[in-house]
Amino acid sequence: MNEIPTLESLKEQNTDTQFPIFNALQSKEHEQVVICSDPETGLRAIIAIHDTTLGPALGGTRMWNYNSEQEALIDVLRLSRGMTYKAAISGLNLGGGKAVIIGDPHKDKSEALFRAFGRFVDGLGGRYITAEDVGMEEKNMEWIYSETRFVTGIPKSLGGSGDPSPVTAFGVYMGVKACAKKAYGTDSLEGKRIALQGAGHVASYFAKHAAKEGAKLFISDIYEEKAIKLAKEVGAEVVSADAIYGLDVDIFTPCALGGIINDDTMGEFKCDIIAGGANNILDVEDRHGKMLVDKGIIYAPDYVINAGGLINVAGELEGYNEKRCHEKAAQIYDTILGILDYAAEHEIPTYRASNILAEERIKSVGKIHKIYSSRGHFTGRFGEMYMRDRG
């Protein structure tokens, strides 16, 4: 899964410079991008649908104060493509999509804004199903649900699964243990020194799992008060946002935003394993994935290890069962081990191994879909409709 290029780089690479956005979509095989604008509510959003071979595109909506339209577009293209691979490697019958809302999640939220966004999602007729992501809360998803049924992660009181972060964190925890098994011969985290970047929902639940097993945690967050609060809960040490990269630890667990493994940070890492819940943590996948191999660091592909959230909200499509979703998230342990073994056997980086395995599933199922059949259907809350015509 290669990186999404910037619009400037696309202009340099293509003779057809009049259509940089279409070039961006076609270079990574995106199917559709929808620009959503509602001046009355202040809504500025982008929905990206990458691939619907396996099923409707499911992926969360992120609210972030992007510096430019281009920054938001590049982010949503990267994230939506990652969702395709995440669903495929996790064995889900779903495609990949993502949405971003441009705005400050601490200042710009309103019921009207999210209901307006819900109308745009509804207009896609089920090609895209949204869910909760960075900057979003259950209440926001409830407002979106007021305008469309194509939303997951709604409150349990409304028949949904609620906050997906506990299952995401559980999957990250199982993935970290799988990496420890590969690195140390045992998956126990007792006594392991873990640098945890971020103190949000996923990081908090992960910290509790790891601390309970006896890990020694070092926590940082751009909002220091959040790091201090979490550290008190789990008996961890707080470090500055800049210092987290260079700590002498066993495991580095990024659970904040992406792009943090880059040319500036690469030389600082002093760990055996990098495995965490953040998306797109390799700034340039090919370059920095190979550099981790050269440094002897085991890397758990981010879209694999953090798939618990997708597994959880996908459970709503068939009628939500919390126990079943946790059991499926626990399988991330075996998936990560399988990827690590495949990478070692073929002498390739782990990010490439996971991409190959995901692409193989998409290709094989895509061949089956050439065979005509009557329309399938989801059960549960989505039982009255089907998202895609398989014919």
Check residue 388 and give its pLDDT: 42
Positions marked catalytic: 98
Please check the confidence at residue 352 and state whether its pLDDT lies above 80. yes
What's the pLDDT at 277? Answer: 95
388 or 359: whose pLDDT is higher?
359
The two structure tokens encoding residue 277 = 């819940």
Strands 95-102 vs 57-58: parallel, antiparallel or unpaired: parallel
| pTM of full prediction above 0.85 | no
Domains detected in the chain? 7-83+95-151 (3.40.50.10860), 165-360 (3.40.50.720)
The pLDDT, as a whole number, for residue 387 is 44
Q: Nearest Cα to 253, choosing from 197, 182, 188?
A: 197
Q: 374: pLDDT confidence band, cut at 50, 70 and 90?
A: low
> Residue 292: which pLDDT band, with cuts at 50, 70 and 90?
very high
The Cα–Cα gap between 362 and 356 comes to: 10
Strands (E), the chain: 32-38, 43-51, 57-58, 61-64, 95-102, 128-129, 193-197, 216-220, 237-238, 251-254, 273-274, 298-299
Which residues are within 8 A (CB) of 192 and not within 5 positions of it... i.e. 6 or more apart? 180, 210, 215, 216, 250, 251
Q: Tell me: the pLDDT tens digits for 176-201?
A: 999 999 999 999 999 999 999 999 99
pLDDT tens-digit profile of 308-336? 999 998 998 878 888 999 999 999 999 99
Q: Are 342 and 357 in contact (CB under 8 A)?
A: yes
State residue 107 phi and psi, 5-degree precision: -130, -30
